[in-house]
Structure 1
Amino acid sequence: MDRLDREILRLLQQDATMAVSEIAEKIGLTTTPCWRRIQSLEQQGVIKQRVALLDANKLNLGMTVFVQVKAGKHDISWLTTFAEHAAKIEQIVEFYRMSGEYDYLLKVMVADMQAFDEFYKQLVSGVDLSDVTSSFAMEQIKYTTALPV
C-alpha cells in the first residue's frame, strides 16, 4: 500500500459517497487508475464495506453503557453459547474478549435506564455468567470510525 492508497482511504473514511472523479482529483490521479485502486482495496478486504453513520441521539439511543462480563465457565462451549447469545441482542454494538479481570467487554446503546434494564435482563437470561458490571458514559469526548492510515 503506497501513499496514494492511504490518501484514498483517508478520503473514503471521511465520505464514502465521494465520487471517484473527486477522489482522483484530490490525490492527483485520473479517474480510471483511481477506480482501479479502490477496486483493488476492496478485493484485498482493506475496504470491508461502505456504510452510513447514524446519529444515536436522533434515534433515541443516547445512553452508552460499557458492560463487563466474567465468564461462567472457561471453555469453548461456554464461549460459543455466550457469543451466539450476545450476537442476537441488537443493543450490543461492539463485543470483545478481553485480558484482565473481566473476560468480555460489550458496548451497548440504549434509550434510557428502563431500556438498559430490559437489555440487562435479556443478557443474563439463559447464560451462566459469573459477574456483570456496567459503566454509563457521561460524555463522549471523541468518536471516530476513521482508522489512522
Structure 2
Amino acid sequence: MLDERDRKLLELLQCDAGLSVVDLADRVALSVSACSRRIQRLEAEGYIARRTVVLDRGRLGVPTTVYALIRTAHHSSEWMERFAAVIADIPEVVEAHRLTGNVDYILKLALPRVEHYDVIYKKIIRKVELFDVSASISMETLKDGAPLPVDYAS
C-alpha cells in the first residue's frame, strides 16, 4: 500500500530520475536511509519499472514524428509475434500499440525527416504482410512525456 510519501517520491522521480537520494529525502521529509529503502521497495514492487534520461530529439537529428496506422488481415499468434519482432529491430519505432477499432496497430516513429518514413515502411513490409498502412505527420507536440498520475496507485 502506498502512502503520500511514496506517491511524492514517484512524482519527483518521474520528473527527474537524477535527483539524489539526499534531495529526495529532503523533499519528502525522510532520513536518507529511510528514503533509500522506500525507493528500493518501490523498485522491487514494480512501481518503478526503470530509470531513464530524456534526450533532445533535435540535437540527435530525429525531430520528426510520424504515426503509422496499420491494418492487417492476420491475427494469429505467430503473425503478431513476427510483427513485434520486426518492429523491435527498428530503432526509429519508439512506441507501438495494438488497438481496438478499425486500425490494428499504431507506431510512433522518430525520424530525421518526413522522407525517411519510406525507408521504415519498406523495412516493415519486406518482413511482414500488412493489409493497409497510412501515416500522419505530427505538426506540433502539445504534450509529451508527462508524468503519470500517482493518485490511483494502491
How far apart are 1:72 and its partner, in Å?
Answer: 3.2
CA distances 1:1-46 after superposition (whole Å, capped 9, x unpaired): 1100000011111111111111111111111111110000011111
Task: Find the counterpart in structure 1 of residue 65 from structure 2.
Answer: 64
The one-letter code of the counterpart of 1:142 is: K
- For normalisation by structure 1, the TM-score amounts to 0.96
> Counterparts of 1:72 and 1:109 in 2: how far apart (Å)?
26
In structure 1, what is the equivalent of residue 94 of structure 2?
93
In the alignment, residue 103 of structure 2 is paired with which amino acid? Y
Query: What amino acid does structure 2 have at the position aligned with 1:4?
Result: R
- Counterpart Cα distance in 2 of 1:31 and 1:13: 19
Matches of residues 1-149 of structure 1 in structure 2 within 5 Å? 1-149=2-150
Name the CA distance, whole Å, in 1 between partners of 2:59 and 2:110. Answer: 13
Q: CA deviation at 1:102?
A: 0.7
Deviations 1:75-119 (A, max 9, x none): 111111111111111110001110000100100110012321111
Contact 2:66 2:114 (8 Å CA) reproduced: no
Distance 2:124 2:144 in 1: 26
The gaps in structure 2 that reach 5 residues or longer are: none
Query: Which amino acid letter does the alignment assign opposite residue 147 of structure 1?
Result: L
Which residue identity lines up with residue 18 of structure 1 in the other structure? L
RMSD: 1.0
State the secondary structure of the residue aligned to 1:132: strand
Q: Percent identity?
A: 37
Uncovered stretches (5+) of structure 1, i.e. residues with no partner: none
Look up the equivalent residue of 2:87 and give its one-letter code: A
**Runs of 4+ in structure 1 displaced over 3 angstroms?**
none
